[in-house]
Amino acid sequence: MDEAELLKRITVNPKIFGGKPIIRGMRIAVEHVLGMLAAGATAAEIVEHYPYLEEADVRACLVYARRVVGRERYEPAFVDSAD
């Protein structure tokens, strides 16, 4: 499944979690899945714990996060010019 197809799994509904990105209209936020991954869970473990999810949903969260972060720019408060 390519990135465009994966991203179709991520939806936004202002009535669910205040409009945060969610998976396929269900009440599970992308941020929640990313948090589980950051804590060390595997995609298989997440799907086992949330049987209504698919591994492609977890991959979709990662693609979404990469796209969002790819647009961010970080401006440090302090720049070390000692180099």
The torsion defined by the Cα of 73, 79, 82 and 83, in degrees rounded to 10, comes to 0
Q: Which CATH number fits domain 3-70: 2.60.40.10, 1.10.10.10, 3.30.565.10, 2.30.30.100?
A: 1.10.10.10
Mean pLDDT, range 10-18, rounded to an integer: 92
Q: Is the pLDDT of residue 78 over 70?
A: no
- Please state the domain extents for the chain: 3-70
Give the integer Cα–Cα distance in Å for 57 and 43. Answer: 9
Give the integer Cα–Cα distance in Å for 71 and 59. Answer: 19
Give the integer Cα–Cα distance in Å for 32 and 73. Answer: 23
pLDDT band at 76 (very low <50, low <70, confident <90, very high): low
Mean pLDDT, range 4-9, rounded to an integer: 96
Q: Among 13-17, 43-47, 75-79, which range has the highest average pLDDT?
A: 43-47
pLDDT tens readout for residues 22-61: 999 999 999 999 999 999 999 999 999 999 999 999 999 9
- The dihedral through the CA atoms of 54, 32, 9, 3 has a sign that is negative
